[in-house]
Chain A
Amino acid sequence: MKLARIFLALCLFFSAGALSAADGVGPDIPQATGEPHPEGNDYMRRWHMEMLKHDRDLTMYLGIRPTDSSLAECFECHTVKDEAGVPVTVADERHFCRACHDYAAVRVDCFDCHRSTPADFDEPAPHAMILRGPRFRSWGAGDADVLLAYLSQAMTEPN
């Protein structure tokens, strides 16, 4: 019963996600430029990762570079610009990918290695030292004390 309810909630969640954000339900998807995908948006929402995964292997192992799907190609149309007209990186919550992925709380790790902006453009320096969350924080002064305090507390108070 509980499982069924979770399933129903998930169904509602994803169908809501497919709706336009104009009614306040679902993510606010940034406007893209260029021609729409001939497959339709529903297809792209469901399969974009499979398409990228498929073609990345073709490129990596067989050297086929003019593939149907590539991240670089995504950003030719799906680029959000800031007030100064500069494309924002994934560090900015307005980034195209983050619109849905933040909403669905799914962290993408594509951009640990790949650039999140169009090619041949220098990402501005303020974006350089960020990248989401404590995972990317370097060990700093005072961190040892915080960790020790946490550990001693955890050990003295079971659960």
Chain B
Amino acid sequence: MSFRMPNGSEVEDRPTRRDFFKSGAAFATMTLAPGVTLMAFGGSATAAVDAGKRWGLLIDTSKCAEDCDACVTACKTENGWEGHGEAERDVQWIRKVTLRNKATGHESSMPVMCQHCESPPCVDVCPTGASFKRDDGIVLVDKHTCIGCRYCMMACPFKARSFVHEPVTNQKTHAPRGQGTVEGCTLCVHRVDAGGIPACVEACSATGNGAMVFGDLLDPSSEIAQRLAEFPSVALRPDLDLNPGVRYAEI
């Protein structure tokens, strides 16, 4: 028996380590039909991805200080990316953007990163299935299958993805990244899986600005859902009808 992962890779049957550690997690697969597999998890190794959740961010631009880039710095430190002084090709998982209303001159400052769309264009165009959305709404690149074609970068209306041009060494264990692949904000998926919050949100609270809130959009009792229900907010490029998981208030 073999089982198939969402990226199409098939794992052949072999004596598993689980045969050696019977006390560990129970893992059962059942083939329903050719190519359709039912997977069941038991024991301690339960999936961190919960389809009943949808992770999102609320960014209150009135609280975002124009000269502050704590979120960007925190992201760089957490995920181990940096620029090489070449603005046109440097990677940017998150950037600070200033919006100016031409009619009134009003300016607002805000961080922009992957918007974790419900209908992500980057996933639609990916020829290898590397660009995908987890069941809890986090949009990721599976670099094992990414061929670096950069279609997703073209498709993303937020310019949220970057291509890695240079060889990379000294990566973080939790954030592998390398030359020839596309990458972007992961919503600090390694922290979220462990029950934590993204590094940018943590850094924003630490500055005292508190402009960013992270949480489950589908849980009515979560802070983010309550604030979204109470105060007006917008999605960037609402005309595209992508239903992003990242929302902005007070733009």
Q: Which residues of A contact B (CB under 8 A)?
A: 38-39, 43, 47, 50-51, 53-54, 56-57, 60-69, 72, 89, 91, 112-115, 119-120, 122-123, 127-129, 131, 136
Contacts and interface: CB of A to CB of B under 8 A. Distances in A.
A39 B21 CA distance: 10
Interface in B158-201: 167-173, 176-181, 189-190, 192-194
Chain A contact residues, majority secondary structure = loop
A60 B7 CA distance: 10
A136 B14 CA distance: 36
A3 to B, nearest CB: 24
A136 B167 contact: yes
Contact of A64 (B48, B169, B181): B48
Contacts of A136: 167, 179
23 contacts: A38-B20, A47-B14, A56-B144, A57-B5, A57-B9, A57-B11, A60-B7, A60-B142, A61-B5, A62-B47, A62-B49, A63-B49, A64-B46, A64-B47, A67-B45, A91-B169, A112-B178, A113-B168, A113-B181, A114-B173, A114-B176, A122-B170, A123-B169
Given A63-B134, A69-B17, A112 B47 contact: no
Contacts of B173: 72, 114-115, 119-120
A53 B11 contact: yes
Residue among B11, B44, B170 having the largest count of chain A Cβ atoms under 10 Å: B170
A72 B132 CA distance: 24
Contacts of A65: 48, 190, 193-194
Given A50-B11, A53-B9, A119-B173, A60 B140 contact: yes
Interface residues of B, number: 45
Residue among B45, B180, B194 having the largest count of chain A Cβ atoms under 10 Å: B45
A112 B171 CA distance: 10
Nearest to B48: A63
Contacts of A62: 47-49
A142 B24 CA distance: 59
B120 to A, nearest CB: 15
Contacts of B20: 38-39
Q: Which 8 A-B pairs have the closest CB atoms?
A: A63-B48, A113-B178, A119-B173, A62-B47, A112-B178, A113-B176, A57-B5, A123-B170
B169 A61 contact: no
